[in-house]
Amino acid sequence: MQRRSIVAILVLCLCGAGLIPRPVLAACEDVPPEQRLQNTAPHDIGRTLDKIQDDGWIEVAMYEDFRPWSWQESGQVRGIDADIARLIAADLGVEARLRLVQPGETLDQDLLNYVYKGALIGGHVSDVMLHAPYDVAYACRFDQVVFTGQYATERLAIAYGQADYPEKGPVPAVFRYDPVGVENDTISDFFLTSVGHGATADKVHRYKSTGAAMAALAAGDVMAVMGPRAELDANLTPGQLVHEPPLLGLAKSNWTLGAAISFQHRPLAYAVDDAVAAALADGRIAQIFASYGVDFRPPVR
């Protein structure tokens, strides 16, 4: 499922080609401290790296029901993020305790609930949260979260039936005529609905998840599906292909995934980043993606 929190970061890019150019500034230069969302007195929440190693375990939060990234099956948490969490824990010499959490309406809410404060009722923060989309401008708004450990680049793509498009994969313009599936209320939904000033709107079929849209593609209900590449790859069936065509008018069609950690625990953030960097360098993270049949693109770090 494409998280709403990711959409919250990317949705302003939908009409990027028409935005007024902004001056080039150094990171965070245009965000005064008083405008930052969490410019409040710090609370001593969470565990230090020393405490984690003394206790012998680390809790890592990740989204529930989110194939191929994280989901529960036969009592075990599986997925790319789950395996990366175990990799980080092994590097720190501790046990990985995996916490599946529900996504909020925004990434702001998820960070508050799971990283630096905890939900108001019965909530607690985890030591690390994975699948946090990294964006410099967004990160500058936070005083109490460190975005680190970037481990992959996710991007939008289109899956399609090879029999329907034998010569080359479809581009968004063809969805003025051909039915296409998307997860409801996601960046793919917003973008395709806006193509040609709404000319594609009646051809966009909405589903509760990208996986459900891919099932509709297999059933012949749609001719293509647009969504995050990993979710398309994980649901491909024989006779289906996936490609990444130019998405004209969409200023940002890819984003970096990493970890979010409380700003109070910088040593932990450094240790997590070192573990991820080592696993990127020796190919372990690439192997994790391959084991789930997902194309891997390393992040820009």
Mean pLDDT over each residue of the chain, to the nearest integer: 88
Residues 62 and 96 in one domain: yes
Residues 208 and 195 in one domain: yes
SS3 25: coil
Residues 209 and 99 in one domain: no
DSSP state of 111: H
Which residue did the predictor score with more confidence, 205 or 13? 205
Give the residue-averaged pLDDT of 276-283: 98
For 24-49, what is each residue's pLDDT tens digit? 455 676 666 555 555 444 555 789 99
Task: Name the least confident of 19-33, 168-182, 217-231, 254-268.
Answer: 19-33
The answer as to whether 301 is a domain residue is no
The answer as to whether 265 is a domain residue is yes
* 29 Cβ neighbours under 8 A, 6+ residues apart: none
The answer as to whether 31 is a domain residue is no
The answer as to whether 174 is a domain residue is yes
Q: Is 238 exposed, middle or buried (0-12, 13-18, 19+ CB in 10 A)?
A: exposed
Evaluate if residue 18 carries a pLDDT over 50. no
Are 66 and 1 within 8 A, CB to CB?
A: yes
The answer as to whether 299 is a domain residue is no
Evaluate if residue 256 carries a pLDDT over 60. yes
- Percent of the chain topping pLDDT 90: 72
Residues 73 and 95 in one domain: yes
Residues 133 and 270 in one domain: yes
Residues 121 and 164 in one domain: no
The answer as to whether 300 is a domain residue is no
The answer as to whether 52 is a domain residue is yes
Query: Domain of 271?
Result: 4-24+37-153+255-291
Which residue did the predictor score with more confidence, 284 or 28? 284
19 pLDDT tier (thresholds 50, 70, 90)? very low
| Range list of H helices, the chain | 4-10, 49-55, 80-92, 107-111, 136-139, 187-194, 210-219, 229-233, 266-281, 284-291
| pLDDT value at residue 115 | 95
Checking DSSP bridges between strand 128-134 and strand 254-262, what pairing results, if any?
Answer: antiparallel
Give the residue-averaged pLDDT of 139-161: 94
CA 12 to each of CA 8, 16, 250: distance values in angstroms, whole numbers, following the listed order: 8, 7, 9
Evaluate if residue 15 carries a pLDDT over 70. no
* 140 Cβ neighbours under 8 A, 6+ residues apart: 27, 28, 31, 36
Residues 120 and 14 in one domain: yes
| pLDDT value at residue 276 | 98
Residues 149 and 160 in one domain: no
Give the residue-averaged pLDDT of 126-153: 92
Query: What is the domain-level CATH number for residue 14?
Result: 3.40.190.10
- How many domains in the chain? 2
In whole angstroms, what is the distance from residue 115 CA to residue 281 CA? 27
Give the residue-averaged pLDDT of 231-251: 95
Residues 223 and 280 in one domain: no
Task: Name the least confident of 47-51, 59-63, 246-250.
Answer: 246-250
For 197-216, what is each residue's pLDDT tens digit? 677 789 999 999 999 999 99
251 pLDDT tier (thresholds 50, 70, 90)? confident
SS3 267: helix
In whole angstroms, what is the distance from residue 2 CA to residue 65 CA? 11
Nearest to 297 by CA among 156, 151, 130: 151
In whole angstroms, what is the distance from residue 64 CA to residue 99 CA? 9
Are 204 and 180 within 8 A, CB to CB?
A: yes
Residues 54 and 8 in one domain: yes
Residues 204 and 282 in one domain: no
